[in-house]
Every structure is written in structure tokens, then in C-alpha cells.
Structure 1
Amino acid sequence: MVMLGGIAMTDLLLLSEAQMRRIEPYFPLSHGIARVDDRRVISGIVFVIRNGLRWRDAPPGYGPHKTIYNRFVRWSRLGVFNKIFAELARKAGKPSRLMIDATHLKAHRTAASLLKKGLFPDVSGARKAA
């Protein structure tokens, strides 16, 4: 068993070859310099996002955290992940179960004054005070 930074290589989440074949058609072409191992870096992105980690907390087995972060940002701006998710969702068909996230956000106390200042559109349909 190979150890990288205290983590066994078998403990890393790596996308399978079949999973990589499904998403590879959506990867942008490499221009000039060959990219670092796509499987390792994409698996690192999935691991960080799935576990809610900071990029710097990615296990070293996925490569430098800066590489993982840069690939995520660059491909996000190009819409690569949106295309992959849309295609995978389309091929999956109709879901048998839908889930609702109950996450909520706190608004800063100054957010209440945005409507009064006209910086936030009023879509409530409520009558305005004279």
C-alpha cells in the first residue's frame, strides 16, 4: 500500500474509468502543455466539494491544492461542470425522488433598507406607503 501524506492511496476517492469516459467528452482541449492527470484532479475537486473542505485541506494524493483549485475555477468559468451535470442529469431520466434543502441565510441588518433605497426590486406586490 502506497502512503501519500499519511493517507493511503486506497483511501482516496477516485472516479472509475467508466465515470471518466462519460465526462471526458466535455473537457476542454489542452493547449500546448499537457494537463496534470485529469482523473486525479477531478476526483480531488469532487472530494473537496463533497466533504465541504477548504481547497488547502485536500489530501496530497490528489496533487497540489492550488492545482485542484485552479482547475475548478478555470473550468467553472468555461461552463465545463455545468455541461457535465446537465448531460448526466438528462441521461439519468426522471428522478424517483426529489429532495428539498432547508438551508437558510441570514441577511445583514442593512439589507432591510435596500428596498427603501430602490436598490432591490420590490416583487411582493404589496402596496407602497404614501
Structure 2
Amino acid sequence: MAAPWIVDDQLWAVIEPLLPVKAPGTPGPARMDDRAVLQGILFVLITGIGWEDLPQELGFGSGMTCWRRLRDWQAAGVFEAMHTTMLAHCHRAGLIDFDRVIPDGSHVRAKRGTDTGPSPVDRRKTTTS
């Protein structure tokens, strides 16, 4: 079994088109290979090591390169696009059992409104409803 941070050819074929392309002729040093950087990002996130501790001998580039690419891809919406694309692939392949899906909105932050009333627990704080 391959290490969980290794992106195989089949998965890479799905992910690669979702990544932003650096315009040709853009000044600066040669860009590290996107696939290697993605594997470096996954290595750090899976193992929990610090970005600065990413071993150079693995060929993923520096931890700072991986961190910057993660930041840039996050800002460009790459990971949201990956998630949506992978869900669509899994759905088409019949790999999602909707009988076992539980919607959960607990990760959505409650908005604070101006029409909130006093908290029944602490009279100095307002509620979020």
C-alpha cells in the first residue's frame, strides 16, 4: 500500500486541471512541480510535522514552498473545487451511500445579529439567535 500522501496517476489526472497555471515568462525562479508540492502538503498535513521540518530528501520542495502553494491554492478555491469534483466522481461511481449520510451544519458559524436578546445564562451577554 502506498503512503497516503502519494498522489497516483489516476488521482492526479483529476486534480491537475483544477490547479492554477503560472503564466509563461513570469519572472522568478523555476516553479517546483505541482504534484510534488501537493504531496509535500499532504505529507505535512497527514504527519503533523512543522512546515520547516519537511525533509528535503523526499523531493517535495521546501516546507515554505509547500505552505505558500497551500495558501495560494486555498485563496484560489482549489480545495473546494477538488472536494466538489471528487464528490461528483464518487457519486457517479456509486460510492456514496446516501442512506448513511447525515447532514451536519454545526461547522457553520452563527451570525451575530442586531436583533439578539439577552442571554438566559448570562445577562451581560447577548444570544446569537
Residue equivalent to 2:43: 47
**Paired letter, 1:28:** P
Residue 22 of structure 1 corresponds to 14
Once the two structures are superposed, residues 77-114 of structure 1 have per-residue CA deviations (whole angstroms, 9 ceiling, x without a partner) of 11111101111012101524659xxxxxxxxxxxx86x
The two structures have a TM-score, normalised by structure 1, of: 0.62
Aligned to 2:82: 84
Q: Distance in 2 between matches of 1:53 and 1:95?
A: 32
Decide whether aligned partners of structure 1 residues 42 and 11 sit closer, same or farther in structure 2, where only a CA change above 3 A counts: same
Runs of 4+ in 1 over 6 A off after TM superposition: none
How far 1:42 sits from its partner (Å)? Answer: 0.4
Q: Is the 8 A contact 2:37 2:66 kept in 1?
A: yes
Aligned residues with identical type, % of pairs = 27
User: Would you tell me which structure has more helix in proportion to its own residues?
Assistant: 1
AA matched with 2:38: I
Check whether the contact 1:26–1:83 (CA below 8 A) recurs between aligned residues. Answer: yes
Aligned partner of 2:96 in structure 1 is 95
Query: Partner of 1:116: helix, strand, or coil?
Result: coil
Once the two structures are superposed, residues 36-72 of structure 1 have per-residue CA deviations (whole angstroms, 9 ceiling, x without a partner) of 1111100011111122222122222211110000000
In structure 2, runs of 5+ residues without a counterpart are 103-120
- How many residues were matched structurally? 101
1:35 is matched with: 31
1:22 maps to a residue whose letter is V
Give the one of 56, 70, 91 matched to 2:68.
Answer: 70
TM-score between both structures, scaled by the size of structure 2: 0.63
Letter in 2 for 1:85: H
* CA distance in structure 1 between the partners assigned to 2:74 and 2:12 by the alignment: 18
User: Does the CA-based 8 Å contact 1:14-1:39 persist in structure 2?
Assistant: no
SS of corresponding position for 1:14: coil
Q: Identify unmatched segments of 5+ residues in structure 1.
A: 1-9, 100-111, 124-130
The alignment's C-alpha RMSD in Å is: 3.1
